[in-house]
Amino acid sequence: MLDIKAVRQDPEAVARALSKRGFVFDVEQFTTLDARRKQADVESQKLLAERKAASKQIGALIGQGMRVDDAKAQVNETLEKIASQIDALTGEAKQVQSQLEALLLAVPNIPADEVPEGASEDDNQEVSRWGEPRQLEFEVKDHVALGEALGEMDFETAGKITGSRFNVMYGDLARMHRALIQFMLNQHTGEHGYSEIYVPYIVNSDSLRGTGQLPKFEEDLFKLEGEQGYYLIPTAEVPVTNVGRDRIFDAQELGEEGVKFACHTPCFRSEAGSYGRDTRGIIRQHQFEKVELVQFVLPDQSDGALEALTGHAEKILQLLDLPYRKVILCGGDMGFSARKTYDLEVWLPAQNTYREISSCSNFGDYQARRMQARWRNPDTGKPELLHTLNGSGLAVGRTLVAIMENYQQADGSITVPAVLQPYMGGTEVLGA
């Protein structure tokens, strides 16, 4: 959530900044609501002063010769009128405040200055490339054809069990999928300084509101039936980031690099806004696995932390020897809560293009304000908002796709990347 004080100070500047996203901030609605709230506060203070003065009138009325009971009755009548007016103003103030909060909850984060202009993924800007796409001297197969030929990727059975956009894997492919998770977690915890964390796969609405999925993106979520208001997680970002909700970290706890968590979870997405996209294979599924990286850092560290976190995700691709490119997202393609995002796009031979495999974002204090994730500044002794970051390190299914397609051989077998072989009992080739 944006800082309401900053919005009040210059709502027109906020509107201009948000226009980079293609988002229209209703300045008139905000200023009208805020003026109503301010007026209600002024009138309430005035009535409180009147109540205080009226309470002192009993003695004065008695001094003027009025009977005690009559004086009390007159003052009580006045106090009742004032109380009724205060109650009405309090109700109006609560209503206006609720409208203000609803308005701000629907407003995305302001992009960083260096975020490029643009309306869609076509306007994202390439930052760098790593590796050279392999030249395959045979007819390239996509991961679906490869997996089905191995007899280890089964969409028909998944459709019978559940429906479309699900998958069943068997044997070595299922084993490689598991190996990738273990490899990623070991790399991030052993080499990149993250602490592993295990979290619930079901969250409440407060958690989703804290990270920005609610109220705007409820249609993309799987909501559970029942009175609890529970949802399946769309990503580990939600439960892990909410570890910091309503919490004040000590400076010592944050250390020099902040608090860093690595977490593996399944992810569940309705994908309401992606109808007809990537219907073949496991690029876009309702259930998939991810290793998520989440950081809580001091405000002056978050820009550097984003570069480091993105580098941690890149290292996984480099160790797997998968060619990729890094792009900075334009304003129109960034996630709702992000102020700056890098996407890593891995090379897929069957599509002859790069496809997203990781998204790494700095949220500034946007999520922290919604969650009240803070740290205690030792210089002032006062709590201040932290900055939050997260990124995929990596999306496991898409990594599996990239390995299958990039490491395929003419006979349909798949070479196992060297770094994964120890996790697969020394297996070097699938389908040999």
Catalytic residue IDs: 269, 284, 356, 359, 398
d(Cα 147, Cα 60) in Å, to the nearest integer?
93
Amino acid in position 88: A
Token representation of residue 176: 């490689």
d(Cα 242, Cα 67) in Å, to the nearest integer?
62
d(Cα 80, Cα 345) in Å, to the nearest integer?
67
Surface-to-core class of residue 198, CB atoms within 10 Å of its CB (0-12 exposed, 13-18 middle, 19+ buried): exposed
Peptide bond into 394 cis (omega under 30): yes
d(Cα 197, Cα 393) in Å, to the nearest integer?
14
Alpha helix positions (H), 162-278: 171-190, 205-211, 237-241, 251-254
d(Cα 218, Cα 308) in Å, to the nearest integer?
31
Rounded alpha-carbon distances, angstroms, from residue 219 to 41, 229, 285, 332: 37, 14, 15, 20
Q: Taking a C-beta distance cutoff of 8 angstroms, is the pair 408, 414 a contact?
A: yes
Rounded alpha-carbon distances, angstroms, from residue 232 to 100, 202, 398: 28, 5, 21
Q: Taking a C-beta distance cutoff of 8 angstroms, is the pair 236, 228 a contact?
A: no
For tokens 């495999």, the residue is: 357
Report strand pairing: 195-196 vs 259-268: parallel
For tokens 């007026």, the residue is: 39
Q: Which residues of 48-68 are buried (b: 16+ CB within 10 A; e: fewer)?
A: eebbeebeeebeebeeeeeee
